[in-house]
Amino acid sequence: MVGGDSTPVPGRFEGDIALVTGSTRGIGAGIAERLAAEGADVVVTGRTAEAGEAVAERIRENGGEAAFVEADVRDPDDIAALVDATVGAFGGLDVLVNNAGVETDTGAGEASMDDWEFVLETDFRSYWLCAKRAVAEMDRGSVVNVSSNHAFLTMPGKFPYNAVKAGINGMTRAMALDFGPDVRVNTVNPGWVDIDRTTEGMSDERRRELEAIHPVGRLGTPEDIAGVVSFLASDDAAFVTGAHLLADGGRAAVMQDDTLPDYRARRE
């Protein structure tokens, strides 16, 4: 299949309850909508009520079941209340997707303690606390941690985001061992995805350059990542735990960009 259309699998999560953090927009919203399209009752959560309610309403308009719960995952009390609200709304919890994330445009030599705490509390500590609290409500289930290709390859000025994303892979392995056998834990590592946080204000020339150096000939979409998350959370991945799945359009296969053809041109 060429393009970015990942087709939902009807009934894949029928009867399951899913919680997706950071799901008021972007990749998180795409994941919430995908799981709902596959039959899950979904809790959308984040700090922006208007945006979160819009995602939940979109799910309901498409025939799914969803509720929005406002929460700041930097606050451990909010995390506990979020999981309680999920169980209260739908009667249980089967799938947790840890997706909430922030970043700072700082290097290792210039990042402040505030930068460090902001990123680690949101992108790292919250994953542990959400999983710890959610697993207590699961008879059997699945946790998917959304990391980044920065866990493997990075660029200047992305600290501590890149360090945290590498840490998530290690956290996933630890959780897989400690929460098994009843709960599986895996990571998806997205690359360039066309969302506001990464492409807003990007020039057409820069977009063409990025598309050209991806072996798939394009940037990713939230739907691309949602399809990978859905697979890892589902029984189709019943023998997969402690793994990380790179979803970057082939960028990590590249040694140096100046050796590449224009993949975008090959698609035209």
Distances (CA, A) of 266 to 5, 131, 213: 19, 43, 11
CB-count exposure of residue 7 (10 Å: 0-12, 13-18, 19+): exposed
Q: Which two tokens stand for residue 108?
A: 């290792």
Q: Is there a contact between 245 and 189 (Cβ–Cβ < 8 Å)?
A: yes
Amino acid at 169: N
What is the distance in angstroms between the CA of the first residue and the CA of the last residue of the chain? 15
Q: Which residues contact 124 (CB under 8 A, 6 or more apart)?
A: 164, 167, 168, 171
Measured N-to-C along each axis, helices 161-179 and 126-135 cross at an angle, to the nearest 10 degrees, of: 20
* Spatial separation of the C-alpha atoms in residues 43 and 93, rounded to whole Å: 10
Q: Is there a contact between 180 and 142 (Cβ–Cβ < 8 Å)?
A: no
Amino acid at 81: A
Q: Which residues contact 158 (CB under 8 A, 6 or more apart)?
A: 103, 105, 150
Instruction: Return the active site residues.
Output: 161
